[in-house]
Chains A and B, each alone.
Chain A
């Protein structure tokens, strides 16, 4: 087989795989979301406010509940201690006032 045809076949296979991604995502999403909601049901009444992504500091465990100066409240000159703290940015948009 000519090299060009081999390349076209290889690219076509890749393209098929690539175009199957959204389809797979849509199918997998349906089952995964239902499962996620079912498993989170016992926690519903706890009204949790944050995701458990990083539990190394209170301001990375509950970023939405922490003050903007939380990483520095240990001491005015204290540096950021935790690696994940440097990756979390506060939400800077001001609240709308009525």
Chain B
């Protein structure tokens, strides 16, 4: 066998025996390291998968949504605006949308009510999201009572329940006819919640938006790119949830690496002294410490990433979903489609494994270059 390979094997054997001699300390170190990587990798997987899923699902979002603002708050928009917007060159169509929120006092949940005559098809019937069916234990054919703004009950017969796979979009959705919608919310005629504008050429979107803003100064056009950007911002490295978890995990890692880098224990110093006095060269000692770093960090990295993958894509990341859930009563049960971003894994590797290995080698280099006699005496 190659002599160099044999040398590495011998040093690796010694490293493993040396690590096992301090079993308790090294296992706790490995566990903590593994946990940090597991948290960071879970976060990376969760966020990139959600971003990707958002981009796929929001492909069907309208090219532009036009809201009306009154004193900085969104207000109902007159359907007359739709006709004027439809006459702007480049606009293919304008659809007034009727939607709103309903608070259910029975279970404390908020529902999103959307009017669509095609989906609901008949009056006093509803298509509901799987989250509502789960929360209220309802099946097709059951009656869902909602209290209208007139204090009169509106009994909706459940025509169908949306599949659980659409939970990420529609867990809290109730789709009813526009007539029922107007009855439920005592919604005035001639107004809509907002307008969905279809623009054929995406390059014309900003021009159309400026024209709308000019023609109707009280309007607020929201472009599809802005909708997508909102979701990119929510799950961005630099903001929101991600930065909170990332900062705490990185901080704990920094403390942990700092502790390692600031010095060796007296026992380790003595060990290096003995090794040098029995004939080990400085490079052998450094190789030993390098292998020590590799054993701990590579094991923690590989295991951490594999476990994080299983946590996010097989167990649906229970920790993060709890954080997103907050006080919500209706919550989607979704399984993310797996997504591995090589770039982010590489960043994770260089942020964790490389500094740790360096942190173990540098203090050892200082000890290994010292006189063995003084190292043993210290």
Contacts and interface: CB of A to CB of B under 8 A. Distances in A.
B272 interface: no
A75 to B, nearest CB: 13
A4 B233 contact: no
A45 B56 contact: no
A56 B328 contact: yes
Contacts of B229: 91, 93
A88 B325 CA distance: 12
Contact of A52 (B163, B168, B232, B339): B168
Contacts of A47: 60-62, 95, 97, 196
A82 B73 contact: no
A21 interface: yes
Interface residues of B, number: 91
A77 interface: no
Interface string A62-93: 11110101000100000000111101111111
B323 interface: yes
A49 B101 CA distance: 15
Nearest to A18: B302
A92 B10 CA distance: 57
- Main SS of chain A's interface residues? helix
Nearest to A73: B73
Task: Determine which residue in A35, A36, A64, A88 has the highest number of CB atoms from chain B within 10 A of its CB, and name it.
Answer: A64
A35 to B, nearest CB: 6
A33 B59 CA distance: 13
Contact of B230 (A55, A61, A63): A63
Interface of B: 9-10, 12-13, 16-17, 53-54, 56-58, 60-62, 65, 67, 69, 72-74, 95, 97, 101, 109-112, 114, 116, 118-119, 129, 131, 162-163, 165-173, 175, 194, 196, 206-207, 209-210, 222-223, 226-227, 229-234, 236, 239-241, 244, 295, 298-299, 302-303, 305-306, 309, 313, 323-332, 335, 337-340, 342
Given A52-B112, A87-B234, A91-B232, 14 more contacts: A3-B12, A3-B16, A36-B165, A39-B166, A43-B170, A52-B168, A52-B172, A53-B332, A55-B330, A65-B67, A84-B328, A85-B326, A87-B241, A95-B206
